């Protein structure tokens, strides 16, 4: 048998000169124990660095206080901020956060099984993409799931995200106001619903404004992906206004335009999405959409609360309106 690492209640009882039951009662809220015994137990616990274990309670109740956070690329400052904010709020609510970084090669089946073995109370998926299959795998283990920014429909799964179509429409109206005649869209991965929704709103509002159909390039939420897409869009035809599926794409787009001798905003207007810190840096000064992380996090916590006792929130989708932050990249 492996030796116990943590100080045990037996050690505390021995040092305090009391029974093990007295130690147990001292650490059970509402249990009866004399002031003198309690004092001796607490002094011994302090000396030994004893902390009562939560494990027996978890075994009894199937409630662990653990909430799993499944994330993709933290290299996107938007997701880093979401994780930090969610983790801080969940901890305020008395939970501990189990971080599960997932890359595309890793199957969510294995993740879900392992999390179930730890009896996590809920899963928040902050993946850029959560497939329908993966959502069903997660939900099969009876764990409530909130999908962040990806709408999915499955039992015990709800979703919270930015109103991407609204953002797309606002981007189109801003480029229309700047009299853009050759609009383009730099997309994220084809399977990303957020990217698709942003394009849909962009396309609709351009059409309503009597502007031409946007040309579309790109297939990755990265700086390099944005740079490649912008280079190709410029090579293929005229372009004077680009809406990008996220800020990393937009930063790559701006640098590619500059390398091609195009000025931002004079020759080409550029808009991003996420309002990451780099959007505000002097080297870019990028107009972008703030997804309102505090509101997204609040909605996620509220949904988790609704799901914690029942399946009431399953299938729900909460949309948070993005806020346009205008900067130099779309100056008149």
* Interacting residues toward a copy of itself by CB under 8 A: 1-2, 4-7, 49, 51-56, 58-64, 66, 69, 73-75, 77, 80-81, 83-84, 87-88, 91, 96-101, 103, 113-119, 121, 140-142, 223, 251-252, 254-256, 258-259, 277-278, 281-284
Q: By C-beta, is 58 or 295 nearer to a copy of itself? A: 58
Q: By C-beta, is 74 or 216 nearer to a copy of itself? A: 74
d(CA 203, CA 190): 16
- What's the min distance (Å) between Cβ of 197 and a copy of itself? 26
CA dihedral 161, 162, 165, 167 (to 10 degrees): -170
Q: By C-beta, is 30 or 210 nearer to a copy of itself? A: 30
Backbone angles phi, psi at 145, to 5 degrees: -125, 130
Task: Let me know: does 11 contact 41? Beta carbons within 8 Å.
Answer: no
**Secondary structure in 3-state letters for the chain:** CCCCCCCCHHHHHHHHCCCHHHHHHHCCCCCCCCHHHHHHHHHHHHHHCCCCCCHHHHHHHCCCCEEEEEECCCCCHHHHHHHHHHHHHHHHCCCEEEEEECCCCCCHHHHHHHHHHCCCCEEEEECCCCCHHHHHHHHHCCCCEEEECCCCCECCEEEEEECHHHHHHHHHHHHHHCCCCCEEEECCCCCCHHHHHHHHHHHHHHHHCCCCCCEEECCCCCHHHHHHHHHHHHHHCCCCEEEECCHHHHHHHHHHHHHCCCCCCCCCEEECCECCHHHHCCCCCCEEEECCHHHHHHHHHHHHHHHHHCCCCCCCEEEECCEEECCHHHCC
Q: By C-beta, is 56 or 237 nearer to a copy of itself? A: 56
- What's the min distance (Å) between Cβ of 171 and a copy of itself? 22
Q: By C-beta, is 54 or 177 nearer to a copy of itself? A: 54
- What's the min distance (Å) between Cβ of 194 and a copy of itself? 20
Q: By C-beta, is 142 or 181 nearer to a copy of itself? A: 142
- What's the min distance (Å) between Cβ of 277 and a copy of itself? 6
- What's the min distance (Å) between Cβ of 208 and a copy of itself? 34
- What's the min distance (Å) between Cβ of 183 and a copy of itself? 23
d(CA 78, CA 275): 8
- What's the min distance (Å) between Cβ of 85 and a copy of itself? 9
- What's the min distance (Å) between Cβ of 102 and a copy of itself? 9
Q: By C-beta, is 58 or 319 nearer to a copy of itself? A: 58
């Amino acid at each position: 048998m492996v030796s116990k690492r943590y100080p045990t209640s037996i050690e505390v009882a021995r040092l305090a000169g009391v029974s093990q039951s007295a130690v147990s009662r001292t650490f059970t809220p509402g249990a009866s124990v004399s002031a003198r015994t309690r004092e001796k137990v607490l002094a011994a616990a302090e000396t030994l660095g004893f902390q009562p274990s939560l494990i027996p309670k978890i075994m009894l109740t199937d409630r662990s206080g653990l909430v799993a956070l499944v994330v993709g690329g933290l290299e996107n400052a938007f997701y880093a901020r979401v994780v930090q904010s969610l983790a801080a709020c969940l901890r305020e609510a008395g939970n501990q956060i189990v971080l599960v970084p997932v890359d595309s090669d890793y199957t969510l089946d294995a993740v879900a099984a392992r999390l179930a073995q730890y009896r996590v109370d809920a899963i928040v998926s902050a993946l850029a993409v959560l497939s329908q299959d993966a959502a069903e795998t997660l939900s099969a283990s009876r764990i409530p799931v909130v999908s962040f920014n990806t709408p999915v429909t499955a039992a015990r799964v709800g979703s919270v995200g930015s109103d991407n179509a609204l953002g797309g429409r606002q981007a189109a109206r801003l480029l229309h106001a700047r009299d853009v005649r050759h609009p383009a869209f730099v997309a994220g991965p084809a399977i990303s619903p957020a990217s698709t929704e942003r394009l849909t709103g962009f396309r609709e509002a351009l059409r309503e404004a009597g502007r031409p159909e946007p040309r579309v390039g790109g297939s990755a939420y990265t700086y390099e992906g944005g740079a490649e897409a912008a280079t190709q869009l410029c090579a293929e035809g005229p372009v004077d206004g680009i809406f990008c599926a996220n800020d990393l794409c937009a930063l790559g787009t701006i640098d590619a335009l500059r390398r091609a001798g195009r000025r931002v905003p004079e020759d080409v207007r550029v808009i991003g999405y996420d309002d990451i810190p780099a959007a505000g840096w002097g080297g870019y000064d990028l107009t972008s959409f703030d997804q309102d992380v505090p509101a997204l996090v609040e909605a996620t916590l509220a949904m988790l609360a609704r799901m914690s006792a029942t399946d009431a929130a399953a299938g729900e989708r909460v949309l948070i309106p993005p806020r346009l932050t205008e900067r130099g990249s779309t100056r008149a």
